[in-house]
Amino acid sequence: MRLVLASRSPRRAELLAAAGFEFDVLAVDVDERVGANESPADYVCRLASEKSARALAQLRPSLRGPQAPASVGNDMLVLGADTAVVVDGEILGKPSDGQAARAMLRRLSGRSHQVMTGVSLRSANREIGGLETSTVWFAALDPAEVEWYVGTGEGQDKAGAYAIQGRASRFIPRIEGSYSNVVGLPVALVNAMIARVGSG
């Protein structure tokens, strides 16, 4: 079974590789705007599904032609995922600049929030989806800590303006749920979904 990761995230690729999966990567672009009255859970699941569908559509031309085995489409699984940081039901995306990053970190300071990842696993004729939610507790941050962390630039391209696997780990005393989910991909859920497809 050929696995294709429909993501440009190096963190998702690193998590899959560390868990021993063999896969190809195909970066895709989708519209990441939140729909009207769309819940965070619906949002991440929809984007994961759109990513896997977009990747499969891009792969289909390579599956046709005299050199392509008839079964190649059924032997391929495309994995799409999307992760959101959620505070009081509101999605925190990637900060647009340092000011936005400071505001996000002040909002996360001294409280818990949720990290949700929608997962879509798609073959030529079937899609299954999943959702993982983890709870993350942040220590209370003083202004100097916020300035220091923003100055590192580490959270600039991360949802919620932080990376749990990096310097921000010093501010996170506790999580409940999947750690890999907070990084960007719930690996155990992905493994269970792959097994489900294989047995079905």
* Per-residue pLDDT tens digits for 97-124: 999 999 999 999 999 999 999 999 999 8
β-pairing, 127-137 with 174-176?
antiparallel
Write down the pLDDT at residue 98: 96
Write down the pLDDT at residue 60: 77
Q: In order of start, what are the domains of the chain with their CATH numbers?
A: 2-199 (3.90.950.10)
In terms of average pLDDT, the best of 73-77, 95-99, 124-128 is 95-99
β-pairing, 24-25 with 76-87?
unpaired
Task: Give the whole-angstrom CA distance, residue 105 versus residue 118.
Answer: 23
Task: Give the whole-angstrom CA distance, residue 90 versus residue 114.
Answer: 10
Q: Where are the alpha helices (DSSP H) in the chain?
A: 10-18, 40-59, 98-108, 143-152, 179-183, 187-199
- Note whether 55 and 23 are within 8 A (CB): no
- Burial (CB count within 10 angstroms: exposed 0-12, middle 13-18, buried 19+), residue 63: middle
Higher pLDDT, 67 or 24: 24
Q: In the predicted model, what is the mean pLDDT of residues 29-47?
A: 92
Write down the pLDDT at residue 70: 34
Percent of the chain with pLDDT over 70: 92
Helix (H) or strand (E) holding 154: none
* Active site residues per annotation: 82
Write down the pLDDT at residue 69: 36
Average pLDDT, the chain: 91
Instruction: Output phi, psi for 150, to 5 deg.
Output: -60, -40
Give the other-Cβ count within 10 Å of 120's Cβ: 26
The CA-based dihedral angle spanning residues 82, 40, 192, 112, taken in that order and rounded to the nearest 10 degrees: 100
- Secondary structure (3-state) at 6: coil
Write down the pLDDT at residue 197: 84
Instruction: Output phi, psi for 120, to 5 deg.
Output: -125, 130
State yes or no: pLDDT of 71 exceeds 50.
no
State yes or no: pLDDT of 30 exceeds 50.
yes
Which residues share a beta bridge with 77?
A: 3
Task: Give the whole-angstrom CA distance, residue 6 versus residue 53.
Answer: 9
State yes or no: pLDDT of 58 exceeds 70.
yes
State yes or no: pLDDT of 67 exceeds 90.
no
